[in-house]
Amino acid sequence: MSTRRFFVAIALPAPVRDALVALAEPLPGTSWTRPETLHLTLRFIGGVPEEKIADITHHLATVRVEPFILPIEGVGAFPPKGPPRVLWSGVGQGHPRLHQLRQQVDDALLASGLTDLDVRTFHPHVTLARCTPTGAPTFTRWMHLHQQFAAPPFRVNAFELYASELRPGGVVHTPVQRFVLRK
Ligand code: 2AM
């Protein structure tokens, strides 16, 4: 039985992706996200059987959140201390509709029967790069250089369910279904 991995995310419009791509530079041990796969994950689902997807999309379609404006800004690293594994850009404080959206997505997934959602705090971010733990001073310089970064704010009109597959050329994200935001 095929079990692709799935996740729910906000797709980023081209001007935001362009601004994020401009943060990339050759850094030791660092692999930058391909522009077409930049996204803001709302919830990683993981591997589920394909026959479960209809139920998941049925429940995700019940989400009711008004469209909202989201500025992607600032940069940081996971973990916040020690050698970075991930470089990201975030969303700053606030943005209650983003958190409302995440909560409703979780509620929908739970209602569809998924029980093992990760309980860690939601840190909304766009993963820009993954790093092997080398060159810490270089990352400090990069983060300092871009701490005032701000992508053009954009209107979140929808969210998407994606399938993620590891192919020989790297990870491929395929949109499965788009859910338009509405009250
Ligand atoms: P992130 O890069 O924004 O942290 C699809 O794999 C997306 O789901 C990834 O880009 C990742 O988002 C997120 N994700 C969260 N937990 C994950 C996990 N355990 N394995 C893979 N991806 C995960």
Interval 72-121: pLDDT, tens: 999 999 998 888 999 999 998 899 999 999 999 999 999 999 988 999 99
Q: How many domains does the chain have?
A: 1
Contact 45, 109 (CB under 8 A): yes
Ligand 1 atom 12 nearest Cα: 41
- For residue 44 and ligand 1, the question of a CB distance below 6 A is answered with yes
Range of the domain at 126: 3-180
> Quick one: which atom of ligand 1 is closest to the CA of 78?
4
Predicted confidence at residue 1, as pLDDT, reads 47
Ligand 1 atom 13 nearest Cα: 44
Mean pLDDT by 10 residues, the chain (183 residues): 84 98 94 96 96 97 98 95 93 94 98 93 97 79 96 97 92 96 94
| pTM metric for this prediction | 0.95
Check which CATH number belongs to the domain holding 121 and give it: 3.90.1140.10
> Quick one: which atom of ligand 1 is closest to the CA of 162?
5
- For residue 138 and ligand 1, the question of a CB distance below 6 A is answered with no
